[in-house]
Amino acid sequence: MQLERLDPLAERLAEGDPVAPRNLVERHYAELYRYAFALLREERGAEDAVQDAFERAFSALGRYPEERLRNMRLRPWLYRITLNVARNRLRRKREVPVEEVPAVLGSDEGREGVMDVLAALGRLPERQRVAVTLRYLQDLPYAEISGITGWPEGTVKTLVHRGLARLRSMMIGDSKGGDPA
């Protein structure tokens, strides 16, 4: 994992390639948006969170010395920043009633299904929620998730497994649900 090849985009950032910042945003916008939306469950909030995350990221990248830039693993780093931003937003939101969420949705059935899944995800303990989201919604391999969260791969697997079991019992109504040993 640590010996992974350098990210060519990090190298281009370090060398001052003028389009590197744009390419970075283009490369990660959609996935970070999906992640933020899964956590926040609203469009506007997700857009703002991603904007915030990139602003923080770029402000840091501007201050890093060239060597550090060159060795950046940008993707997991952006995921971490996005999670922090989304977490802060959730914390702030908790003071306000959260029930305004479905109003944004319209009547499209598929979107309601999405909201049901996300609502169920939202009821998981945070570590399980993050692990399941990264594994299935973001479709990331365990190694990458471990890089993002800093948790060992085995831990990630356990969290995904437990989260999935809980979701199953919430959504499919498996009466035998709960955490498998």
Partner 1 sequence: MNEPFAERDAERMRALLRETGERIAPGSDPGVLVDGVLAGATDSFFAVDSPIGRVYVAAGPDGVRFLAPASSPEEFVRRYRERFGRLVSPAAEDRVESLEREVAAALAGARAEVPLDLAGTTPFRRRVLEVVKDIPRGEVRPYVWVAREAGSPGASRAVGNVMATNPVPLLVPCHRVVRNDGRTGSYAFGADEKVRLLKLEGVSPEEIEDSPYVATPTTGVVCHATCRNARRIRPQNRRTFRSVKEATEAGFRPCKVCRPVAAA
Sites of contact with partner 1 (CB under 8 A): 13, 15-19, 21-22, 25-26, 29-30, 33-34, 37-38, 43, 46-47, 50-51, 54-55, 57-59, 61-63, 66, 110-111, 113-114, 117-118, 132, 136-139, 164-165, 167-168, 171-172, 174, 176
Q: Least CB distance from residue 125 to partner 1, whole Å?
A: 17
Cβ closest to partner 1, residue 100 vs residue 174 = 174
In which region does residue 180 sit, left (phi positive, over 0), alpha (psi from -120 to 50) or beta (all else)?
beta
Q: Least CB distance from residue 84 to partner 1, whole Å?
A: 16
Cβ closest to partner 1, residue 87 vs residue 136 = 136
What burial class does residue 92 get, using C-beta atoms within 10 Å of its C-beta: 0-12 exposed, 13-18 middle, 19+ buried? exposed
Count how many Cα atoms sit within 13 Å of the Cα of residue 138 in the half-sphere of its side chain.
29
Residue 150: helix, strand or coil by DSSP?
coil
Q: Least CB distance from residue 89 to partner 1, whole Å?
A: 17
**For residues 132 and 167, is the Cβ–Cβ distance under 8 A?**
yes
Cβ closest to partner 1, residue 73 vs residue 165 = 165
Cβ closest to partner 1, residue 58 vs residue 77 = 58
Ordered alpha helix ranges (H), the chain:
8-15, 20-40, 43-63, 66-70, 74-93, 109-122, 126-132, 142-149, 153-171
Cβ closest to partner 1, residue 3 vs residue 176 = 176
Q: Least CB distance from residue 69 to partner 1, whole Å?
A: 9
Nearby residues of 84 by Cβ (< 8 Å), 6 or more positions away: 53
Q: Least CB distance from residue 95 to partner 1, whole Å?
A: 26
